[in-house]
Every structure is written in structure tokens, then in C-alpha cells.
Structure 1
Amino acid sequence: MTGTASSPSRTDERIVEALPIGVNTFVWHSPITDETLHTTLEKIASWGYEGVEIATENLADWDPDRARQTLDSLGLRGVVGGVFGPGRELTCAAPGVIEETQGYVRGAIDLAARVGAPLVIGPMYTSVGRTWRMSPDERRTAITTLRESYRPLVDHAASRSVRLAIEPLNRYETSLLTTAEQVMDAIDPLPREVIGVNLDSYHMNIEEGDLGAAFDVVGDRLLHMQVCGNDRGAPGDDHIDWPAVRSGLERVGYRGMLGFESFTADNASIATAASIWRSFAPSQDDLARRALENLQRWRRPWNLG
């Protein structure tokens, strides 16, 4: 990653440590299991990763107490990734489906609290890949229902000292929330101390007309940042305007994780869901190490002045 912004002033006392770099378990596994999670945590820590996004397809896939012990022993930070597969809907669905999905999100919040993670992240609104046309009135109704679905989840998250970070996806994966502006509109009436935004460079590259402006729209409600190349490969080996991403993060005073998210083509279900038709490196380990190498060169202390 070249062309980064100029170095901050050494006299600025608000410079903080470099942002921690994490990686999503989807790079290797779908779904994650208790054993593969611990093997993965040990591996990424040995390479120099400082955090992990635990993609949680099913609430019983991994033991949060054991995971917390491993994270603590390795000095890793963690966030829980909400996975919205078929049938998980918080709007535009039957009441029973919405209630069941709320139960899943509550469970993810409880996992986060037990593992010591501050966030549940992801596209928490409708199932990934579900798209349909909406009139302006239908969209307003969908967003109203979504807000009502969020309210008890926000209360539950607040009671567990966990925050929710809602991720906009690209137009091929959803027709509901595809931009920073749309997510901000959906969550605007809800408590800013509990619910915010999870941006992802892959989706931003498709949907945002101006990467920098998207950060300005979100501001301090940006709770999590996922980074990968425009092709889902390693960030920095692609055409995304990384200086604009960096400047945007600095401008809004972002203090969270940089989470590298990609997927494996070796798993049929996840390859189809994420449209991963080819490998981005000789192995998934090589891909994760390349992403880490690029991100370590790119980051430096952030100027929050």
C-alpha cells in the first residue's frame, strides 16, 4: 500500500497505538468448530495477528469459555461475526421468522459477552443473497420494521456491555442496506452508544461513489472496519484507493480493529454464497500472511486530532 497520508505531528498527544490487525475465520473454515477455532487462533497469533473475527454460523459451534482462555493466553482480541444465512431475517418476513432471528442475535450477543468481545458485527437485517425490488413506500416500511426488530436487541446488547455493528453489503448480496448512508438512516433513531456501523472495503468499492465521503457519513459510529482487496484478495494487491481509506479512518478517529475478511474456495457452500471461484494465493495460509504483511506496512499510529 503506497501513497499513504503524511505522518502526524510528533507533538500531538492524541496519537494512539497502531490499530490491531485481525483476520476472519471464514478465510479457512465454514462453519468454525471448537477445535478448528483453537488451532486457527494459535496459528494466527504465531504469525503476528492481534485479533480475530469469529464467524458464528451456529451458536453451539464453539465454546466461548474455552475460546476466551485461548484468546487471553495468546493476547488476541476478538469480535463475534453474525452470519445471516437463509432464513435469518429481521424485516420483510413472518413474525415467527423475525423472532427466531432475534433469538440468534441474542445468542451471538451472549457469546460475545462470555468470550470478552466488545462487538457483534455483520449484515444483521436480511439473509445474504436475498434481493428484491422495493418501492419507496415498501422500503420505508422495511426499515421501520427493521428498527423495531433492533430495539430489543439493542436493549439486550446494552445489558451485556456489547455493541452491534451493522454491515452494508453490495447490491448482489442484498437490496436493503448497501451504503453507509442507508445503514445510518436505519440506525439513526437507535442509541448510538450501543449500535453503529461495520464498513467493509470490498462492498464499499462497489457501492460508494466516494470512499472518503462514506467515512464522513458514518463518523464516530464506525465500530468495525473490514479490509480486503477489491477481488477478495489481500488488501494492497488491488486497485482500492487505500490512501482514501486511511484518511477516512483517521478523520473519524477510528480506534477499532482492521479485520481481514476473505473466504475459502474449498468449501462449496461458502464459495457459492460469496462467489469465490478461484484461489487468491497458493494456500489460505499464504493469503492470510500476505494480508498481514501488507497491513503491517500500511498502518502506523493514527492522528486523532
Structure 2
Amino acid sequence: MNKFGVHALVWAGDLSGPSVQRIVTQSKKAGYDLVEFSLHDLSELDIGATRALLEENGIEPACSRGLAFDADVSSDNLEVVARGVALLEESLEVAQGLGAKFLCGGLYSAFGKYHQPVSALGRRHVVESLKRVADSAAKRDITLGLEIVNRYESNVVNTTEQALDVLEKVGAPHLKIHLDIYHMNIEEADFFTPVLACGDKLGYVHIGENHRGYLGSGHLDFSSFFHALAHIGYTGPIAFESFSDAVVSRGLSVDLSIWRNLWNDGFDLANHARQFMQNHADAAVLGRA
């Protein structure tokens, strides 16, 4: 019942025409239903051509992004907050142009290491900004997914409890939680309880190994996580993320600290991940039968 997706960085480090062609066709060949595009660099993206290619291949798009320190909705500075809101509004416009129904990621702060806790004023700015952006998302029929990331990538939302608090304060139906097992491994006590806490507020899921390599080659308890998804009847997208210096993205590879080579063959990696996720999802459903 779930749509299985793959991050575009498994295939290419930019969104030029030839790269998008590879991203979409290889994703289809590996059996994916969805491709997740990071909107960190739109300089080469042809929105119309990309949408046409996706539709031609029967692949759905999803979009993700983080904010920058000079465009951060958790800042105390209103000018910086305004730039963050503008960046999110632009991302919604691009997502709509591509035909995406999801815009996910760290939509509440800059992507990077902070050196102090977020202030009370900054938290208020997050809530106010997300209310405004969620209204725009609703008009475009796009769901926003607040990705819960680790302490080294944000100082605002690091746990499911914190994300649920933000959702309650914003109070927008088009705002959901985006769980990522890679980040959960750092910040959560287990992989089952947070999923249950989300319940129907869970809208998007990232699957990735603890070292960002081949699924099953690390130590993460995928069985527990997939059983939790089955327990709550989750039917949303499940997207595979993996990064290696075999595919280098200008800027984003540095932001993600991709310093070593975890794989060379993107197709072998993605093909393996597609079957791995399907097997775990099927086993979890059968286990509840």
C-alpha cells in the first residue's frame, strides 16, 4: 500500500537535464514509485521538462529542503525569518510545478550545527512561520513534512515529542511529521514508540542505514520500525536515502558530511534497498495478520 521512493542523490548530484533523465529512468528501472528531489540548488532545474518526464515514466515526485542561516525561521531577527518564509514559499511553488504532493525536511530552522539553544522568541517565529506556510501548502494541496533531525543539524526539533509539540501549536492539517530512522538512531530511545506516538500525524518516512550505506549492513533495527509502521496502519511514502562520495552534490555533500565512499553502483544500491524495504514491509503486515 505504501509508495516506495528513492532520493535523487543516489543517482546524480545536480538537477540538470541529463541528470534528471538518469534520476527518473533509473528509479523506474529499480522499481520505485516516487523520486525525492532536494531543492537546495534549482539553478539547472527545468520544472516543466522534469514534470513531463516524471509523468511519462509513471513516477511521482516529492520534494525536500533545509533552510540556511541567513534564511532561518527560528531566528530572533525578523528579516532573517522573512527570508526563510520566502524560501519555503518558493519551494512550495517549485513542488507544485513538479506535481509533488509532499514538501519535507527541516522546514523549521537552518540545516547545520548551532552553538546555542533556540530562544523562546525563535520558537514563536517557527510556529508563526509554519502557520503561514501551511496555509500556502493547503491552497496548493501539498502536505508539509517536518523532518525530525539530529542535534548536529538543528537545535529546534530533534525528537518526536518536540515535533508533536510544534504540530499542536501550529494546528494545521496539512502539516505532518516526517520520521527518519537515521536520525531516530541518534535521538530516540527506540524505533517503535515514536511511530506509535505519531499515529495519524505521520506523513512521510525516510529509510537509511546508520552509516548511510547499504540497508542491512549496519546495526539499525528495521524490523521494529516497520512493525511499528504496520501497527499504526501507515500508508504514506517510504523513501530510501543513502549518500556516498561516488555522487557529489555541490554544497549538499558538504552539508551532509559525505566524506567517504560507501558505495559506487547506485543502481545496485537502490535495487537492493527497494527489495529490502518491500520485504520488511510485507513481513510486518504478515506479522499482524
**TM-score, normalising length from structure 1?**
0.86
Identity %: 25
Q: For residues 204 and 242 of structure 1, what CA distance do their matches in structure 2 show?
A: 12
Separation in 2, partners of 1:45, 1:139: 44
Asked whether 1:89 is paired with 2:72, we answer yes
Structure 1 runs, 4 residues or longer, greater than 6 Å off = none
Change (3 A) 1:85 1:302: farther
Q: Does 1:283 align with 2:265?
A: yes
Contact preservation (8 Å) 1:23, 1:51: yes
Residue 60 of structure 1, CA deviation: 4.7
Structure-1 residue corresponding to 2:139: 159
Alignment of 1:21-60 (within 5 A): 21-60=4-43
Counterpart amino acid of residue 53 in structure 1:
E
Aligned-residue offset at 1:185: 0.8
Distance 1:297 1:33, change over 3 A: same
Q: Contact conserved, 1:263 with 1:270, CA < 8 A, in 2?
A: no
TM-superposed CA distance for 1:59, in Å, is: 4.2
Equivalent AA in structure 2 for residue 298 of structure 1: H
Deviations 1:72-116 (A, max 9, x none): 211112111123344331112422222122111111112222222
Greater relative contact order: 1 or 2 (C-alpha under 8 angstroms, separation 6 or more)?
Answer: 1
Determine the C-alpha separation between the residues in 1 that align with 2:142 and 2:163.
19
Which of 181, 195, 198 in structure 1 is aligned with 2:175? 195
Equivalents in 2 of 1:241, 1:247: separation in Å? 10
**Residues 86, 29 of structure 1: alpha-carbon distance in 2 compared, 3 angstrom cutoff:** farther
Match of 1:173 among 137, 145, 153: 153
Task: Write the distance in 2 (CA, Å) between the matches of 1:35 and 1:90.
Answer: 34
Q: Give distance in 2, aligned partners of 1:124 and 1:180.
A: 15
1:80 maps to 63
**The residue matched to 1:247 in structure 2 has which SS?**
helix
State the match for 1:7 in structure 2. none
Q: Matched residues in 1 for 2:16 and 2:158: separation?
A: 30
The Cα shift of 1:141 comes to 2.9
For normalisation by structure 2, the TM-score amounts to: 0.90
Which residue matches 2:185? 205
Q: Equivalent residue for 2:242?
A: 262
Correspondence for 1:108: 91
1:185 matched to which residue of 2? 165
Shift of 1:44: 1.3
Query: How well do the aligned residues superpose, as a CA RMSD in angstroms?
Result: 2.2
Q: Flag structure 1 segments of 5+ consecutive residues without an equivalent.
A: 1-16
Cα deviation code 1:18-37 (max 9, x no counterpart): x2211111224344224311
Check conservation: 2:48, 2:97, Cα contact below 8 A.
Answer: yes
Paired residue secondary structure (2:150):
coil
Whether contact under 8 Å (2:6, 2:32) holds in the other structure is yes
- The letter of the residue matching 1:250 is A
- Which string of whole-angstrom CA distances, capped at 9 and with x for unpartnered residues, describes residues 274-304 of structure 1? 1222222233333223222322332328589
Judging changes above 3 Å, is the alpha-carbon distance between structure 1 residues 175 and 230 closer, same or farther for their aligned structure 2 residues?
same
- Look up the equivalent residue of 1:236 and give its one-letter code: G
CA distance in 2, matches of 1:67, 1:272: 26
Aligned residue type for 1:49: Y
Asked whether the equivalents of residues 31 and 56 of structure 1 are also in contact (C-alpha less than 8 Å), the reply is no
Report deviation, 1:254.
1.1
